[in-house]
Amino acid sequence: MCANLHSIQNERIVSQSSDAQSKTKSVCLEVFISPESDFFDGHFPAFKLFPAVAQIYLVDRFAKKYLGLEGFAKEIKRVKFPSPVMPGATVLLSLEQDLLNGTLSFSLCDSVQKDKVYSSGTAVL
């Protein structure tokens, strides 16, 4: 059975690191948000937006794939969604796992206007 990837595929690794001393792992990915993604279905037909739940889904999916996380957050703290993600956007998803504190920090920003943040927060693992 194939997993539903929601037409969000072919992410590109921008950077990836692991620091044994500070016990952190991180990855930064460039991700194309396809206008064909089923996440846009019914999410405001006249003004399509990539929903907050879809952004959290990307955090979960890519944290499992690139950082080896199992399961997901017990809670998400300080989550913010300051700007809407439009169909066809190319975004940078940054994930940093702190193994000592048991947290995963994330941010989703525009790949060109890096100061344009779509979402950010911290997951308690």
Q: Which domains does the chain have, with CATH numbers?
A: 12-124 (3.10.129.10)
Q: What is the model's pTM?
A: 0.94
pLDDT higher than 70, residue 38: yes
Mean pLDDT of the chain: 95
**β-sheet with 117-124: strand ranges across:** 12-19, 24-32, 90-98, 103-110, 117-124, 75-80
pLDDT higher than 80, residue 10: yes
Q: What is the mean pLDDT of residues 90-117?
A: 98
* pLDDT-derived band at 4, boundaries 50, 70, 90: confident
Rounded CA-CA distance 113/83 in Å is: 12
pLDDT score recorded for residue 45: 83
Of 117, 24, 29, nearest to 78 by C-alpha is: 117
Question: pLDDT over 70 for what percent of the chain?
Answer: 98
Q: What is the pLDDT of residues 53-75, one digit of tens each?
A: 999 999 999 999 999 999 889 99
pLDDT score recorded for residue 1: 47
Rounded CA-CA distance 106/96 in Å is: 6
